[in-house]
Amino acid sequence: MNSRNARFTNPFRPGAGHMPPYLAGRTSEYEEVRRILDQTIILENVILTGLRGVGKTVLLETLKPLAREKGWLWAGTDLSESTSVTEERLATRILVDIALVTSSLVVSESKQLELGYARPERVIRQPLNYDILQAYYDKIPGLTSDKLKSTLEFVWSLLPQTAISGIVFAYDEAQNLSDHAKKEEYPLSLLLDVFQSIQRKNIPFMLVLTGLPTLFPKLVESRTYSERMFHVMFLSQLDEHDSREAIARPVERAECPIQFADRTVRRIIEISGGYPYFIQFICREVYDVWLAKIDSGEIPSVPEREIVQKLDGDFFAGRWAKATDRQRELLKVISLIPNCDDEFTVQEIVNGAKESLEKPFSSSHTNQMLSSLGEAGLIYRNRHGKYSFAVPLLSRFIRRQINEASGLSY
């Protein structure tokens, strides 16, 4: 490798939440959020949803500076399973998130006279930190929701209302929120009730939730008013034009030793299906291989077979390994349904199984298995009662498994 290449680092970033070298497309979503951030009374909250690796987290990241520019404070984090298990934990999470953005603001000044003297006065400046929020919260009697509502009202009463637009509460991986009737813990309902209530009091605290496609149906199931409370944006794969940009733009800079030829770009779009994670993954691999070969004078080709195998190992194999034999049979049947990349029904699966399996599936068995595959994060049920794969390009991976088993290679 010559010194120019040695200095050059591969620009592509396959990963979770890693900002891509060039964020392609997503302009309509961005503009939509810009419009929603102009609200003074919150009538619309935001949901960004879509399959794994489609770019929810990085889009959320790019909304942060937009919101700040428009005068919003930005609070929030990932909602991991553990945070979202009980109402109390969720409430603590929210208080911690608020404190992180308000503890640098001086929210009250009180004047005290020195003991025994008429003067001088001492001015006490009080930052709105976690201890104050927690102390206030603890003092309020009643249910967690009453305590949280009251604390949020308290926060707003202390903020410089004319100087800021409000607070955005941005929660990634929000599909982890669930109510647990058996444990009598309802953190999801708590979040919805509390925000609905404070928004009705014209307090500009807005929710921006990000998560897998199970998120919105879950919210609606918990509180039907969620349907009216949220503006849902479904992120899909990038279209042809935006995929091209995601692939070509990062290497257009002058110092890049190799540019992609048009046919290579076309092939990468095909293999990736326009899914952002796959674009980053494939481009990174192609670029690494090419950089390694550049000095040998070889004409670079795309090592497709190897890349797809690596993708199968890195991305799909772990998920596939978790499925039982019978679940895999069902998944194989689904992968052969012509419209499986869009959505499919129980009936289509039952019909497909009758044709291809010696031991077919009944409707009720199919229903049961779809629900366990849903819990495993492989399938989800959409709001119209139909099903879809929850992992992008899973059907192609499964068909590769079928071909391998029957001796046909990729």
Ligand X SMILES: Nc1ncnc2c1ncn2[C@@H]1O[C@H](COP(=O)(O)OP(=O)(O)OP(=O)(O)O)[C@@H](O)[C@H]1O
Instruction: Check binding of 25 to ligand X (CB under 6 A).
Output: yes
Nearer to ligand X, 353 or 394 (CB): 394
Cβ closer to ligand X: 21 or 127?
A: 21
Contact 191, 83 (CB under 8 A): no
Per CB under 6 A, which region of 22-30, 129-137, 161-169, 365-373 contacts ligand X? 22-30
Determine if 16 is a binding residue for ligand X (CB under 6 A): yes
Cα(227)–Cα(211) distance, rounded to whole angstroms?
16
Query: Which of 42, 45, 55, 92 touches ligand X by CB under 6 A?
Result: 55
Binding partner of residue 55 among Mg ion, ligand X, none, CB cut-off 5 to 8 Å per kind: ligand X
Show Cβ contacts of residue 30 under 8 Å, excluding neighbours closer than 6 positions: 59, 62, 63, 66
Q: Does 54 bind ligand X (CB under 6 A)?
A: yes
Residue nearest to Mg ion (CB): 57
Give the x-and-dash track for 9-48 against Mg ion (CB under 5 A).
----------------------------------------
For 142-185, the DSSP string reads S-HHHHHHHHHHHHHHHS-TTT--EEEEEEBTGGG---BTTTTB
Residue 53 lies near ligand X (rule: CB under 6 A): yes
The minimum distance between CB 392 and ligand X, in angstroms, equals 10
Task: Establish if 280 lies at the interface with ligand X (CB under 6 A).
Answer: yes
Residue 118, helix vs strand vs coil: coil
Q: Which is nearer to Mg ion, 72 or 277 (CB)?
A: 277
Smallest gap from Cβ 166 to Mg ion, in A, equals 24
Within 13 Å, how many C-alpha atoms sit on residue 228's CB side?
6
Q: How does DSSP classify residue 52? A: T
171, 209 Cβ separation under 8 angstroms:
yes
Q: Is 57 in the site for Mg ion (CB under 5 A)?
A: yes
CB 111 within 8 A of CB 121: yes
Residues within window 228-247 making contact with ligand X, judged by CB under 6 A: 246
Handedness of CA 56, 57, 62, 65 (dihedral sign): positive
With CA atoms as reference, report the closest residue to 137 among 371, 76, 145: 145
For the bound state, the minimum distance from the C-beta of residue 153 to ligand X, rounded and expressed in Å, comes to 32
Q: Which two tokens stand for residue 310?
A: 């690596």
Question: Considering only residues 8, 10, 11, 15, which one is a binding residue for ligand X as defined by CB under 6 A?
Answer: 15
User: At its nearest, how many Å lie between ligand X and the CB of residue 360?
Assistant: 33
Smallest CA-to-CA distance from 99 within 67, 124, 135 is with 135
Q: Does 272 bind Mg ion (CB under 5 A)?
A: no
Q: Give the residue among 323, 247, 264 at the shortest CA–CA distance from 299.
A: 264
How is residue 407 written in tokens? 């001796």
User: Is the separation of the CB atoms in 26 and 246 below 8 Å?
Assistant: no
Smallest gap from residue 276 Cβ to Mg ion (A):
11
Task: List the one residue from 204, 276, 300, 392 that touches ligand X (CB under 6 A).
Answer: 276
Q: Which of residues 159-188 bind ligand X (CB under 6 A)?
A: none
Quote the least distance from Cβ 343 to ligand X, whole Å: 19
Alpha carbon distance 188, 216 (integer Å): 12
Contacts with Mg ion by CB under 5 A lie at 56-57
Contacts with ligand X by CB under 6 A lie at 13-20, 23-26, 50, 52-58, 246, 276-277, 280
